[in-house]
């Protein structure tokens, strides 16, 4: 028992040296003086001592606890006094420190604006996984087995059945598999292409695709929707054009260009999105009656939209995390 008391005395003295704030002081109290603390344990051990030893060790134990308590109380007064002095020394006349507030990334800002435009037109928003099946990414969308997009140069294949999605169209497939028409939805998300990184292309980028399927849908409605979108994003005076194109999952298909006139440079037509009427084969693949339902789809790259809207000439800037670039869009 004597050795235990001596050891506690040494431990208390050693622990006291490191206490210099209220948090450490509270930890010291819990360790030594709480209901389950070290001194409480010593008194439990004292109870089982032989009767003849209790008078001796009881006196020593009480003296040591009282001594430790006095040291603790003095230390508490000192620390609390120092804490009050620190508070009292605060100069309230000093100007406050302003917090640096972050901002949404320019891609997030652009995506939020695009989503807001389509939500105003009654579109819902759906998302899906970035790791997709070959079936959802290609087969259901009318891609034949020998289509160039299936080549390893374009797609990151995980194995024979799964890949990193190359577009957000698989979300459309998932929607059509799990629900029944009518649909009016957009699908934003990140996609991956096995492409060489340059000022105009990157191995990952962001897309927004749209899908409308109903009983009375026309190409004129598709055109009106996309013209409205272009004017909302780029301004009422934007010049646009539709030109024929080809996509495996739409027929007829078109691409939409806008006239881009950088300050001091020669203007030119730039593609902003692809679109078309949903191919009946896609509807058939997904057990939707093509005799009853018709629809249209469109897709666009968020990076391309942001580059055109803000005059950015290098797609890599979106991913470099350079504050000099990002701070321009607060």
Domain count along the chain: 2
Residue 211: band (very low, low, confident or very high) from pLDDT cuts 50, 70, 90:
very high
Whether 122 and 164 share a structural domain:
yes
d(CA 276, CA 296): 6
The CATH number of residue 143's host domain is 3.30.930.10
- Whether the pLDDT of residue 221 is over 90: the answer is yes
Is there a single domain that holds both residue 111 and residue 65?
A: no
Q: What is the pLDDT of residues 76-113, one digit of tens each?
A: 888 887 766 555 567 778 888 888 777 899 999 999 99
Q: In which domain, by residue range, is 266 found?
A: 106-329
DSSP symbols for 281-308: HHHHHTT--TTT-EEEEEEEEHHHHHHH
pTM of the model: 0.67
Asked if residue 95 is part of any domain, the answer here is: no
Q: Last residue of a domain, which of 30, 55, 88? A: 88
Question: Does residue 160 sit in helix, strand or coil?
Answer: coil
pLDDT at 85: 52
Q: Tell me what the pLDDT averaged over the chain comes to.
A: 88
Query: What DSSP state is assigned to residue 166?
Result: S
190 and 142: one domain? yes
Residues contacting residue 125 through CB under 8 Å, at least 6 positions apart? 115, 119, 185, 186, 187, 188
């Amino acid at each position: 028992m004597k050795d235990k008391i001596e050891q506690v005395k040494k431990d208390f003295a050693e622990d006291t040296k490191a206490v210099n704030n209220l948090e450490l002081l509270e930890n010291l109290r819990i360790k030594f003086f709480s209901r389950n603390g070290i001194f409480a344990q010593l008194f439990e051990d004292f109870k089982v001592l032989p009767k003849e030893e209790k008078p001796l060790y009881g006196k020593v134990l009480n003296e040591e606890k009282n001594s430790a308590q006095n040291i603790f109380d003095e230390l508490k007064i000192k620390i609390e006094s120092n804490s009050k002095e620190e508070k009292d020394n605060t100069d309230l006349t000093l100007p406050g420190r302003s917090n640096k507030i972050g901002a949404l990334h320019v891609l997030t800002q652009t995506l939020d604006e695009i989503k807001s435009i389509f939500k105003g037109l009654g579109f819902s928003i759906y998302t899906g996984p970035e790791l997709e099946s070959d079936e959802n990414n290609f087969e259901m969308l009318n891609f034949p087995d020998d289509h160039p997009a299936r080549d390893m140069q374009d797609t990151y294949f995980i194995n024979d059945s799964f890949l990193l999605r190359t577009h957000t169209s698989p979300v459309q497939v998932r929607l059509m598999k799990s629900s029944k028409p009518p649909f009016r939805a957009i699908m934003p998300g990140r996609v991956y292409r096995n492409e060489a990184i340059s000022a105009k292309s990157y191995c990952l980028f962001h897309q927004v695709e749209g899908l409308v399927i109903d009983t009375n849908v026309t190409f004129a409605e598709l055109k009106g929707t996309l013209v409205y979108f272009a004017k909302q994003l780029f301004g009422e005076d934007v010049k646009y054009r539709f030109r024929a194109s080809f996509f495996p999952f739409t027929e007829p298909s078109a691409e939409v260009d806008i006239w881009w006139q950088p300050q001091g440079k020669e203007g030119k037509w730039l593609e902003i999105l692809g679109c078309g009427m949903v191919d009946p084969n896609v509807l058939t693949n997904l057990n939707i009656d093509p005799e009853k339902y018709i629809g249209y789809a469109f897709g666009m790259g968020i990076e391309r939209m942001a580059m055109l809207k803000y005059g950015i000439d290098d797609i890599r800037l979106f991913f470099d995390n350079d504050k000099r670039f990002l701070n321009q869009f607060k």
